Amino acid sequence: MSEYSIDLKKMCAALKQCDESNEKPLWDTDGEEYLFKHIVPKCVFNQPLLISDIDFSAFDEDDIVNIVDNKSNLIDGAFHAVNTILESFSESSALSLKSKRFF
């Protein structure tokens, strides 16, 4: 298993300097946006997806086909990157708490 080390100061500084205007969203249509925000995360993270939770008027067949045929690798890469960051935070020791005693 790999061990990750995070310099939080450096990471926060880099995030503050990040220019979001250059980021292109994964979706091209309103239907794809709906799918990416409401359906895809549940599928990727194995969460229950009920038919009653889906707004079928928010997307059409072309949106689904485009995501499956053209964007599967982008989805996998994006969620893998986020998952890696979350795991490294959850497994990190709280260094600031080791050096300070509150009680």
Identify the CA nearest to 92 among candidates 1, 7, 10. Answer: 7
Within 10 angstroms of residue 32's Cβ, the number of other Cβ atoms is: 21
pLDDT tens for 31-45 read 999 998 899 888 877
Angle formed at CA 90 by CA 84 and CA 95, multiple of 5 degrees: 120
pLDDT tens for 29-85 read 999 999 988 998 888 778 999 999 899 999 999 999 998 898 888 777 777 777 777
Q: What is the rounded distance in angstroms from the CA atom of residue 61 to the CA atom of residue 87?
A: 34
Would you place residue 89 in the very low, low, confident or very high pLDDT band (cuts 50, 70, 90)? Answer: low
Helix ranges, the chain (H) = 8-17, 30-34, 40-44, 61-70, 72-91, 95-99
